[in-house]
Amino acid sequence: MKKVEAIIRPEKLEQVKRALEKRGFFPMTVTEVRGRGAQKGICLQFRGKKIEVDLIPKVRIDMVVPDSDVTPIIEIIRAEGRTGKNGDGKIFITHVEMVAAVRTDEIIMV
């Protein structure tokens, strides 16, 4: 099992969500977050006066999936979430040791 943690543009959420749905990747947790990447946010110029906007609103999608699903999910998020400009986001993949359901006693050890 792997955890896919994608940080994307908020305005791309609907698009990404629908595309994932279409391919059968349904369960996800979505969080509104703010952050910055390598570009240190956005710098607005006002007639010489600078305004730094260093924490930009993004959306985080968390999904825990079988290893084999990771590559297609990355492809979908890239295809739908990309604008080509700075700030499109990142996808992190981490190993998941255990998944325990709350409603039942089911435990998936990986």
Taking the complex as a whole, how short is the minimal distance between the CB of residue 17 and other proteins, in angstroms? 11
Q: Which is nearer to other proteins, 2 or 12 (CB)?
A: 12
Q: Which is nearer to other proteins, 42 or 110 (CB)?
A: 42
Q: How far apart, in whole angstroms, are the C-alpha atoms of residue 17 and residue 69? A: 15
Which positions touch other proteins (CB under 8 A)? 11-12, 14-15, 34, 42, 44, 51, 53, 56-57
Rounded to 5°, the CA angle 79-81-87 comes to 130
Q: Which is nearer to other proteins, 3 or 78 (CB)?
A: 78
Taking the complex as a whole, how short is the minimal distance between the CB of residue 44 and other proteins, in angstroms? 6
DSSP string, 51-90: EEE-SEEEEEEEEEE-GGGHHHHHHHHHHHH--SSTT--E
- Packing angle between helix 13-22 and helix 70-81, nearest 10 degrees? 140
Taking the complex as a whole, how short is the minimal distance between the CB of residue 20 and other proteins, in angstroms? 15
